[in-house]
Every structure is written in structure tokens, then in C-alpha cells.
Structure 1
Amino acid sequence: IMLSFLAAIAVTFLSGALLLFLGISHVEALMAAVCIGYGIMLLWDVVLLYEYFPQSDISAFLFLRWADEFLPLAFTGLCINIGLFAHLVIMWAGPLGKQVKGLFYGAPSHDVPALIAFLTILITTVNFVVSVEVNFYPKYRNYYSLFNDGGTIKDIMQAGTEMLDVLNRELKYTALKQLLTTALAISAGESLLKYLPLGFNDLMYGYFRTLCVGYGIYAVANTMLLLLLYFTDYRGALAASVIFAVGTSVFTVISLFCPQVYYGFGFLAGCVLFYFIVMIRLERYTRRLPYYILSIQPVVAEDKSGVFTRIGYFMDEKLERRTNVDRN
């Protein structure tokens, strides 16, 4: 996987340089280079998948059944991405928007600060994997295993207390690390960015500071959302993600009617709303965790087959008919 990434990066740079050398317009050349690089990575990863997983007689469309089984997860991911990137698209339609060519639009004075501000949340992304998951997951697994393996009430209560203590501690550390990173980016960012040929002006510095705060709040809120998914609170996570998507979009549209210095505050307001919704939901859910584990689950197994399952069956039938025709 690492080699596929490195190859994609190398091919992107080389093909871009070659196309520019041939005299192709820089917009078309760089866009084509990016597409070529992603294409190389896609083909390489597909080859890796075929080499790693053995051949099977199981239907190739079996995965569609799980789309019906965990449909809220798909919509949660969709809404999170809408909340993250809708404010950029809305800005393209505002006073800062510019038409690059054809259907390609952008708002460079807003997009460039947003890109750099987005990089400041990498600390929380990495921290969730190497700290929160590593320290929290063993307690989480032990707690749920006591339910499945007939643990005593005393052991379950003690394991639950230990799990929630670790959860609260890791969330505090995550928020503190992100706070320090955001503060460092805001304080040192202006001094460093002026050395880069990005055309930063006072307005762009303001967007950068505002978006740094917004993305920092989002990063902590997204960590809590992932923990909700750990506890299988799919409904609560979906509701929070919908609020995030709607909130950032609506607040960004409202900000377009304000002076340009306030444009980044629409996304910031949506992130603040998202943070409080997820925090309240996680606190209430973990407070009554035994109830949700023992009482909310269905007594009888439910068949959640739906439209995606039917599509899978339809594709299986079409594939089988085509195979039979080819054999005959």
C-alpha cells in the first residue's frame, strides 16, 4: 500500500512536469497529472486485493446486504463529508468565487487558508489511533466480554467504571493536544505563511485563524462521534452528523450576507453546534450504557434486507444468466 502511494506521487509529479514541458496549459496538465496518479494507485490497490484474498464461490455482490444492515453508517459518513466540505462549495458561489475553467470553480482566498487549517487536525487523527484506541479498546473489550461470558454484576460495574474513566481521560488529552496545536498554528502560522508564495493577505490570515478553531473543534467532536459508533449508537451518530451537515451549510449561507471578514464563522458555528450535540449524546448514552446494551437490543433477530439486498440478488441473477449463456 505504501509503495502504491509513493508510485502515485512520483507518477503525478513526473506526468505533470512532462505535460507542462509539452506546452499544455497548466490547469489541464496538473488536473490530468492528478487523475493519472490516482489511476495508478487505484490499479495497484486492486492488484493487491486480488493477490491477498483467495478466490471464492461466494457472490461478488454479497457486500450489498451489509449496506442494508448498517445503512445509518453510510449516511453518517456522507453527512460528515457534507459538513466538512459544503462550506467550500458554498463559498465558490459567493463573492469570493472564481471560475477556473468550464465547471471548475474555486475561491482561492478562502480555499487556501481552509486547506492549511485542515492540516492542523492531523494531530487528533493520529492521536485517536495511537492513544485513544490503544488505551480505550482493551477496557471496552473487557467490559463487553463480561456481558457475553457471564460476568458478575460487580465485575461488570467495575469494568464499566474503568472503561469510562479511561474514555474521559483520553478525550481530555485529545482535546488538550488539539487545543495546543491550534494555538500554535494560529500564533506561528502568520509568521510562517508569509514566507510561502501563496499570496496571503490580511483577509486570508483572518480566515486561517477562524478555520483553525473550527477544524480543531470538529476534530474533537469527530473523536466523540467515533466513540458513539464504538457503542453502536448508530442513531445518535447519524442525528449528530445530519445536524453538522445542515448547520455548517446554513450558517455558511447566512455568513454570505455579512461582511467578508466573517465568512469563516459559518463553518465555525456549525462545528460548535456539532461539538455540543455529540458531547451531550455521548454523556447521556454512557450514563445509561447497561440499559442500551441489555434493553434496547431486539429480542428476536431482525431481517434488515432492503433495496440493496434486492439489487444484489438481481445482479447475481444477471451474472448467472450471462455465465450460462457463455458456457452454452
Structure 2
Amino acid sequence: MRDPYDVLGISKTADEAEIKRAYRKLAKKLHPDANASDPKAQDRFAELNTAHEILSDKEKRGQYDRGEIDAEGKPRAPEFTGFGGGGPRRGPGGFSGFDGDTIFESFSFGPEGARRTSRGGGGGFEDIGDIFGFGRQRRSAGGGFAPQPGADMEITLPVSFEEATQGASKRVGLPNGKQIDIKIGPGTREGHRMRLKGQGEPSPMGGPAGDAYVTISYATHPLFERDGDDLRQAIDVPLADAVLGAKVRVPTLTGAVELAIPAWTSGGRTFRLRGKGLPNAAGGHGDLLARVNVVLPAEKSAELEELMRKLKGEAA
């Protein structure tokens, strides 16, 4: 992955306001919905979100600037000249770490990052490729190097606006036929990417499986139109309520709310419901913009028609 500063197009001295402005500008330009015909749009948008997650967090930005984490936010392993006291961690039976036979049952992720719940044994192999710089080869407890792991795979997981806002559990089918459960944390944003270790393609040489990467994508909503982190919708208001004023029920991602429509509200007037939109980068939510659509009575009314003729005549 590219340098996060290059991804956002900013200098290393940029302040928080510059980072925020650069992200918002690029998010509108690179969003998959605005580049539906580009097969690489999702990857670029995911890269943008990863870069923003690192640079908008003071602690992560400091770790990156010091070389403690890489451009994907993963820890960089320290350099070793030999196994001595600074070598790989050892357990009672040899090198400890990831067991290629561990069964991963469920995964969860949200704004705070990814977590996993597993069942199975420890021991076996430890991934030392990052330390010695030769890829993802593994050193076994018996000495020597195990075969290269299988290929990684990329998966896009569509979620509804409600699921991203309130959290949900989703079952995902992998290309290898395995079904896994993923818990979506409340406030998960589009473009969030997580790693499922060992859930990729099997190794053709008998080594460990590759990894699967899951990227969150927002599904199209039947009621709401997305505008960045804000949502827009049209609400029907009867003519009498628009003239006299009333309270109308407005659906939101967390349940319907009442909106007070003042008397003499014209069609097209927009009301802002703060915090009722999609999760945003600041840890809050965007707004819901409700646009009034004045509707006539279902049945024709002679009295109403006569009143309209009178008003039209007075206006003339």
C-alpha cells in the first residue's frame, strides 16, 4: 500500500484540518457510487479510508511516522541479527504462534478495529516473514521453512445503512465454500477493511492457507438517498397539514420520529434532523435531510377546487 500522506495528497506537516479537508474532497471523488464503471474504485476507496484512519488518529500517525506501523496500520517487526535474546518467541514445545489447523469461528470489527474469536490448539508455526523480509514463509518447530501459503482473497460485504449504524451479525460465504459469521460493530463506515487470517486460498504446496480481506460496502437503500455522510428523503405532507401545520412521522435508521411541520410550509422545503445520518469520520453521524412533498387529497373536492379558483382570482 502507498504512503498514507501520498494517498491523501498532503505533506507530513499537515494539521488535522488539512487531513480532514483532503479526505472529504477525495472521498467524494473516489467513492464507488461515483465510479460504478471502474472495477478498481473499491480498492482505491478502501486505500483512502485506511490512510485516513492512520493519519487522523494522533497515536497511529505517530507510530507510522516513527516506523512502528506500516501503511496498512500493521506493526513493523523489529530487526534481529540472530535468534539470541531477540529472536522469535518460544513456547514449551518450540516456536509458538499461529496453528495452521486452528478453526476460526467468528470475527467482529468496527471503528476500533478487528477482533476474532477462535477455537483450536496453539503451537505449530509462527509467521516470521515480516521479521526477516522474505515474504510469508514460516519456520516450523522442527527447523527449516514450510512451503509458501496460499493466495489471499478479497471479499466485498454489502451492508444496509441500518446495519452499519446499529451493528449486526452477517454470514459470509467464502469462495472455498466455508460459511463464517462476522459481527459488524455499531458505527462501521463504508470502506472499512478487515483481515481474516487463514481464510484465503489453500496452499498448492501443502503450506498454510492465505488470508481473506473483507471490505464493507453500503447497499442501496429503498427510502434514503446518500449524500456523503448525510441522507436525503422525501416526505409526503397532505395539503391541509402543509397549510395549517401538523406533526408527521419521519422514518430514520433508528426508528421513526415526529417532525413538526409549521403552518404554510411550501413543497420543497427541507428540514434537517441532526445526527440521523450515516457514521462519519469524527465518530458521530451525519444528518437526515427531509424534503417536503405536498400531496393533494385522494378524492376530488368541489369545495377545494372552488377555494383554489377564488385564491387564483384574488392573486390575479
Higher strand proportion: 2
State which structure, 1 or 2, has the greater radius of gyration over its C-alpha atoms.
Answer: 2
Identify which of structures 1 and 2 has the higher relative contact order when contacts are C-alpha pairs closer than 8 Å and 6+ apart.
1
Alignment TM class, shorter chain as reference: under 0.3
Compute the TM-score of the two structures, normalised by the length of structure 1: 0.23
Higher helix proportion: 1
Compute the TM-score of the two structures, normalised by the length of structure 2: 0.23
